[in-house]
Structure formats: C-alpha cells, structure tokens
Amino acid sequence: SLTTGIVGLPNVGKSTLFNAITQAGAEMANYPFCTIEPNVGIVSVPDVRLNKLNEMYHPKKTIPTTFEFTDIAGLVKGASKGEGLGNQFLANIRQVDAISHVVRCFEDKNITHVSGKIDPIDDIETINLELVLSDMEQVNKRIDRVGKLAKQKDKASIVEFSALQKLKEAFEEGKPARHVALTEDEEAAIKPFNFLTNKPVLYVANTSEDDVAAPDDNPYVQAVKEFAEKDGSEVVVISARIESEIAELDGEEKEVFLEELGLDASGLDRLIAKSYDLLGLATYFTAGEKEVRAWTFSKGTKAPQAAGIIHSDFERGFIRAEIVSYEDLILAGSEAAAKEMGRLRLEGKDYVMQDGDIVNFRFNV
C-alpha cells in the first residue's frame, strides 16, 4: 500500500504528531499489529459515507479503510553529506510515495530550535536543499555512463540522458524534480531513481494550541501558505500537541473537544484526507448485513484489479461487478430499491472504478 513519509527538522513536532497517529491507530480493531514496523503508523480513513451505509445495512461489523504514515526522524542540515546518519534517512524517504513535511510555526522558549530562531521558510529550504543534493548525487552517479551510451545511439539511453540533463540543470538551481517538464518517456526513464524531489509534498504547519482556530493570524503559517502556493503544494495547519490530546479521546469526547476549539475536524483527519488526495487514492465499499467495509484503490484502477485488493482469487476469477453509486443508493434508500430503479449496474473487466462505488464482485473459484 502507498505510504506518506513524515519529515522535518528536529524539534518541529514530528514525534508528537507521529505518536498521535499511532495512538489513533491503536484504537482500531481488526488490525494485525504484530506485523507493523515501529516507524509505521496506521490510521483509519474517516469517511461520513461509512456512517450512512451503517444506518442502511445495520451490519455486524463496520471496517474503515486504512492509511499509512512512515516516521522519518533525524533529517538535519548536511544529511546529504552523511551528517547525522543522513544518508540512511534519505534512503528511507526514497521508499515513500509522498512527503508530509512538518514545519515549526509555534513559539516556545523552552523548546530550542536547531538554527536558533523560528523561521519556517528557512526550515523548509534547509530540508528541500538536502533532498535536492541527494537527488543530484544520484544523477551524477549515472549521467556520464548514460551519456556515453546515448552517443552510441542507444535509444533508451538517449531518453534517459535527456531527462537527467534537464534534472541536473534544475537541481543546480535548487529546484525540485517535480517542477521539471519532462516527456512521458522521460518520466518513465527516471521512475526507477525514485527521486526524492519528484514526490508530492504536503506542508504540515505545526502551530501553537492557541492558533489552531484562527491559523491565518499566525504570520509563520501565512508564510508557509505563500511558499506552498509557489511550490504547487498544499498545506495542512495542525497543532501536534492538540492532536496528541485528541488521539486519547473516544468519538463523543473528541467531538466535544473539537467544538470547544472551534474546529470541525481534527488536524489528523484533515491530514489523512489531504494525503489520500495527494496520492490519487479513492474509496469503494462492500456492504451487506454481515459487514460494511471501505477499500482504498488508486484512481484509474479497473474492476478486476480493484477486486484483487480484497483477495487475489477475486481478481483471478473475476466475472463481473454489480455496482451502485453511493449517491444512487442513498437516493433510492436501499439496494433493492436501487435495483428496481435500474440503478444497479453490471460492469465488466474494463470498467474503471469510481470513488463511492458500492460493489458486489462476482467471481469463479
């Protein structure tokens, strides 16, 4: 499954946030925790549609879909030169699919800042530079050899060389790979490199508990938002400290607490939703009296592969999918009514799954 890596300088609130994530995840039933690595936190994806389906089917069990965060602590200035086990942490980032970049926007005299002052843009640029330098090293390791092969008219090498040249130029200006315009072939040629700066980024502005209700009054948050806009990235404002408090509350207590703070969703829930979006993920549901369950798929996935997310047998023996959209089901009031209204569709192996599809897969065993 896809995962988002939490990165940031020391003392910005990463561990506090990650603890909130694991705490929230620990309340989830039905998860084989023993197989999870210590730096991986799994949370359930909040989805109001699941509540509605619950009211309709009264199932014995309701199972939300999950989302994974990976804690990548220890990035410091100089990491790309191996400073503070830097290379190891950078290698960990290579394995994730998106980056949640935590930035300190809270003042607290008792908590030292690595560079001695609160300056979120400087922090962002420090980390981003390490990522660029690390990518640059990857390019430098490879570019001469590919250049030689390209001269010998090797077709694949010509494409790769052209891509690496464009990237090198961008890296020399401190620009991330995701800002470089590449052809489809070039994109494909550089995919195996897993360039750090080619991954989508979400900036997580960690504010003080007093600022979460009106974050725009915080000039640090404003600065991060402006930076992100230029970067083509998104921002989520949270208070890691509050998230760790929220994570200890159950459903109803949590709602009361959020209301007191003037929030309609916890920062963690907003972070999950935006990360899900950033990774191009969507949800389909299976629903019956026994169980209502949400499943995550990547946008563009076809029905047999979506079935394979439940079980490989479902994909192998796929016959068809019976589908009703969430909207149609809610309008009709029940599956039977939706069927009567002609809203239950039979879809074949080329059907592209849509967010909110309620599915019954038919398959041969």
Site residues (CB under 6 A) for ligand GDP?
8, 10-16, 73, 106, 108, 111, 206, 208-209, 239-241
**Residues found in the chain:** 365
Strands, E assignment, the chain: 3-7, 40-44, 61-63, 66-71, 98-104, 201-206, 234-238, 281-287, 291-298, 318-325, 345-347, 357-363
> Between 240 and 307, whose beta carbon lies closer to ligand GDP?
240
> Between 108 and 340, whose beta carbon lies closer to ligand GDP?
108
Least distance in angstroms from the C-beta of 4 to ligand GDP: 16
> Between 243 and 315, whose beta carbon lies closer to ligand GDP?
243
The H-or-E segment that residue 268 falls in is helix 267-278
> Between 118 and 182, whose beta carbon lies closer to ligand GDP?
118
What whole-number distance in Å separates Cα of residue 85 and Cα of residue 250? 38
- In this structure, are residues 213 and 245 in contact, taking their beta carbons and an 8 Å threshold? no
What whole-number distance in Å separates Cα of residue 120 and Cα of residue 235? 13
Place of tokens 């039933």: 29
Place of tokens 């083509």: 232
Place of tokens 């990774």: 279
Least distance in angstroms from the C-beta of 198 to ligand GDP: 24
Query: 13: annotated binding-site residue?
Result: yes
Helix (H, G, I), strand (E, B) or coil at 363: strand
- In this structure, are residues 14 and 39 in contact, taking their beta carbons and an 8 Å threshold? no
Structure tokens at 205: 């502005």
> Between 111 and 213, whose beta carbon lies closer to ligand GDP?
111
Dihedral sign (CA 91, 94, 95, 101): positive
Contacts of 144 (CB under 8 A, 6+ apart): none
Cα end-to-end span (Å), the chain = 25
> Between 101 and 320, whose beta carbon lies closer to ligand GDP?
101
> Between 217 and 313, whose beta carbon lies closer to ligand GDP?
217
Dihedral sign (CA 339, 341, 344, 350): positive
Query: 11: annotated binding-site residue?
Result: yes
Least distance in angstroms from the C-beta of 208 to ligand GDP: 5
Helix (H, G, I), strand (E, B) or coil at 283: strand
Query: 15: annotated binding-site residue?
Result: yes
Structure tokens at 189: 């040629």
> Between 59 and 74, whose beta carbon lies closer to ligand GDP?
74
Helix (H, G, I), strand (E, B) or coil at 215: helix
What whole-number distance in Å separates Cα of residue 29 and Cα of residue 44? 10
Least distance in angstroms from the C-beta of 341 to ligand GDP: 50
Least distance in angstroms from the C-beta of 279 to ligand GDP: 23
Please give the DSSP secondary-structure letter assigned to residue 350: T
Query: 16: annotated binding-site residue?
Result: yes
Least distance in angstroms from the C-beta of 243 to ligand GDP: 8
Binding-site residue numbers for ATP are 11-16
